[in-house]
Structure 1
Amino acid sequence: MSTVVNRRAFLLLAGGLVAGCGTGSASGETKTLRYQGWAGQVTPPELAADLGYLGDVRLEWVGNTISGPQDIQSAATGQVDFGGAFNGAVVKLASGNAPITSVISYYGVDEAQFSGYYVLEDSRVRSARDLVGAKVGMNTLGAHSEAMLDTYLQRNGVGRAEFGQVERLALPPVNTEQALRQGQIEVAVLGGILRDKALKVGGIRPLFTDYELLGRFSAGTYVMTKRFLKDNPNTTRTFVTAVAKAIDWSRTTPRDQVIKRMKDIVARRARNEDPGPLDYWKSFGVAEPGGRIQDKELQVWVDWLTERGDLKPGALKVSDLYSNQFNGGTV
């Protein structure tokens, strides 16, 4: 799916005229939600559907994405009915007058689900100051990994004027470890299965992790357009509450049972995916019960983007960016 928004789509976005399309109901609300998945992964909505929490609402998979910013842009322009991304990307899109609202947190950072900034065992890089002049490989620029890097630099006394001397390179996640071991980069951002496999091989050490930096926090939210929420409040409530229940189910169910369920989902949907990486699943990392959103989870990125000069001070009011009103999950 193209990430380029054509002129017509942009005009629709700016005017807030895009609404989801799909199978309707007697109430006039759509009962089909179009979405993008992630290859080899089971998202909270997909888990919710398999657990039967969606009731008469069904999901329609339209393809996979490899980028949160692309996913929420597709939601904003009506190509899908919901999309998810790092909260900094959500804030940035909203700052451009995209008519979107965050409705539930769906991933985050905890002691089991985190990303680390790894260097070789004998690397000269041992502090934030050592990153000046270094190359750091990450999956996407302007998103979670870069935000964590900036936060680490700032908290450890590196001046903002020197941030630009830390070279950030976008690399496919599957190639990042290799780039580190071959000396093409000095720091590799690794998470999940890629982190665990790299650590098993050995020869690397963490400079820091996002969990050490900020503790447990929800890092990304699903968004829908304001028009969709207005036209489909009941469908939205069913969807958000189902996702909340699925997140809570994953917390309270033994890990091996969650993994087995996810593998069964991948097998049944027959998208020619490798289910092996699911063995390394540990947590969605969502901080709050039911994925309820808190001001601080967006405010930290409003502050980050303001400090970067991407937002004017006071340009956004955090409470206008999200709503928990559709979340009937755990309070």
Structure 2
Amino acid sequence: MISATRRRFLALSALAVASTTVACGTASGGGAEAKTLRYQGWAGQVTLPELAEDLGFLGDVKLEWVGDTISGPQDIQSAATGQIDFGGAFNGAVVKLAGAGAPIKSVISYYGSDAYAFNGFYVLADSPVRSARDLIGKKVGMNTLGAHSEAILDIYLQRNGLGPAETSQVERLVVPPVNTEQSLRQRQLDVVVLGGILRDKALANGGIRPLFTDYDLLGAFNAGTYVMTKRLLKSNPATVRTFVTGVARAIEWSKTTPAAEVVDRMTAIVKKRNRNENADALKYWKSFGVAAPGGAIAEKDLSIWVDWLRARGELKQDVHITDIYTNEFNGLPAGK
């Protein structure tokens, strides 16, 4: 059965292909460059653009929050159709949407996996699940389908000898990130994907153990990028450069600043934006996981997912990876 999230993803992908023009957004109009960029946030979390703005790294460019997103694929769909001005997702989802004809380009990496920031597949401490083969017939909860977590799961199963027929018997279910830990503890799911502050909070509560992590599987890698439409890049190059370079500075600030200070800053951001959120989980933050200086994008960051998408039958067109990302607006890696 296809989830509602995935149905929406497919429908909006088709819409992006069918549209001959992208809806004009705040930063997409003609004349002088717009200085406001619309975006979606995450409840209880602080995104890199939000951190960059609070640190004063965005200069005269302002962010306009229009609501919270439910997943990376939904976020970039909204960017592709002009509902917001930038969105971020797992790079495999970016490749899929661009391969379907959406007029988007990745402009900066914003999350990844390292020794501190990674996504793990967790089970209860007393769970009988201890290997890939034990997952056959089990329920695995993740925030969305067709994105980072499902890609990592498929790679793990394949590398451990499971064929397509066996892999299809591992049930993947969508569960909101804030409900993931509870769903596991109530035994509604056999395995759940936890990352970042939600992972560390769950581990601090005890009673769970990792089956495997994406860092164990692939090592350190940049996993997701922010995308914008090509139209926006063309009509607002100075605004985009300010935004991308500001986010790049925020990435480096987070790497060189003590974690406790970063946590204090992000907690203050959540409190003053008045969105009726719980900021408790922020105290577990350790890293955004972006390995490349300033979030610069490498071709391999996106190309690694092409084979996975083709194996799933979700990428039938030829995709030129170099056409769907750019570092030209990022002034930090070049020392500008």
Same-fold call, TM cutoff 0.5? yes
Deviation at 1:318, TM superposition (A): 1.0
Name the CA distance, whole Å, in 2 between partners of 1:199 and 1:17. 43
Partner of 2:330: 327
What CA distance in whole angstroms lies between the structure 2 residues aligned with 1:155 and 1:39?
A: 35
1:88: Cα distance to partner? 1.3
Q: 1:115 to 1:56 in 2, by over 3 A?
A: same
Aligned match of 1:160: 164
Judged with a 3 Å threshold, the aligned counterparts in structure 2 of structure 1 residues 67 and 5 are, in CA distance, closer, same or farther, namely same
Contact 2:35 2:62 survives alignment (8 Å): yes
Query: Counterpart of 2:252 in 1: which secondary structure?
Result: helix
Contact 2:119 2:194 in 1 (8 A): yes
Task: Give the whole-Å Cα distance in 2 for the aligned partners of 1:6 and 1:134.
Answer: 29
Deviation at 1:191, TM superposition (A): 1.9
Cα offset, 1:152, TM superposition: 0.3
What's the TM-score once normalised by structure 1's chain length? Answer: 0.92
Identity within the alignment, %:
68
Deviations 1:67-91 (A, max 9, x none): 1111111111111111111111111
Q: CA deviation at 1:108?
A: 0.9
Q: CA offset at residue 269 of structure 1?
A: 1.6
Q: Which moved more, 1:169-178 or 1:210-219?
A: 169-178
Tell me the TM-score normalised to structure 2 length: 0.91
Shift of 1:50: 1.1
- Unaligned regions of 5+ residues in structure 2, if any? none
| SS of the residue 1:185 aligns to | coil
Aligned length: 327
Could you tell me which residue of structure 2 aligns to residue 298 of structure 1? 302
The 5 Å alignment of 1:71-82 reads 71-82=75-86
Instruction: Determine if contact 1:37/1:61 at 8 Å carries over to the other structure.
Output: yes
Q: Unmatched 5+ residue regions in structure 1?
A: none
Match of 1:315 among 309, 315, 318: 318
- The Cα shift of 1:202 comes to 2.6
Q: 2:23 aligns with which of 7, 18, 27?
A: 18
Alignment correspondent of 1:208:
212
Structure 2 residue aligned with 1:259: 263
- Once the two structures are superposed, residues 254-285 of structure 1 have per-residue CA deviations (whole angstroms, 9 ceiling, x without a partner) of 11111111122122222222221111111111
Separation in 2 of the partners of 1:327 and 1:228? 15
Q: Is contact 1:174–1:194 with CA below 8 Å preserved after alignment?
A: yes
Any idea what the Cα deviations from partners look like across 1:13-45, whole Å, max 9, x if unmatched?
7324434325989x6211111111111111111
CA apart distance, 1:111: 0.7
Q: Which has the larger displacement, 150-159 or 10-19?
A: 10-19
Structure 1 residues 320 and 260: CA distance shift in structure 2, 3 A: same
- 278 and 203 in structure 1: CA distance in 2 versus 1, 3 angstrom threshold: closer
Aligned in 2, Cα 1:201/1:32: closer, same or farther, shift over 3 Å?
Answer: closer
2:98 — aligned with what?
Answer: 94
